[in-house]
Amino acid sequence: MDIKAQATEVNIHIRKARTVTLTITVTGISSWTGLAAKFYYSKNRPDTAAKSITCTITPAENKVAVVFVSADTKDLTDFYYHELLVYNTTSNWQKDIMHGKLIIGSVVKAEVVT
């Protein structure tokens, strides 16, 4: 799923217990040197127990990838608040890339026809 975001509200829909990669195109950062990105999600806000995913950055393309493996969402349903933040190497906030709701939907189990 490709997303273009810049400190905007973005609602994301994914399926429970599936591996999903969100690729976000980022504007407003001229150099990624010394920066890292994290995706946080939580049922409440603010929440000191928010779950986080360390993101992969592709500096040449100004892209950040958030990868949910099935274990991240297998026990979750409903909606959560999320935010994608960029930090420097001393963990100081640099930029709010996007925020919004993360909606995790149930999977419809169907019998496999062979």
Q: What confidence score (pLDDT) does residue 114 get?
A: 57
Q: Is the pLDDT of residue 12 over 60?
A: yes
Q: What confidence score (pLDDT) does residue 94 get?
A: 82
Q: What range does the domain containing 91 cover? A: 2-105
CATH number at 86 reads 2.60.40.3350
Closest CA to 97 of 107, 80, 84: 84
More confident residue, 78 or 47: 78
Strand partners, 13: 103
pLDDT digits (tens, 9 = 90+) for 15-59: 888 899 999 999 888 899 999 999 999 998 877 778 999 999 999
Per the prediction, the chain carries an average pLDDT of 86
CB 96 within 8 A of CB 83: yes
CB 105 within 8 A of CB 14: yes
In a domain, 112, yes or no: no
Name the pTM for this structure: 0.84
Backbone angles phi, psi at 21, to 5 degrees: -115, 125
Count of the separate structural domains present in the chain:
1
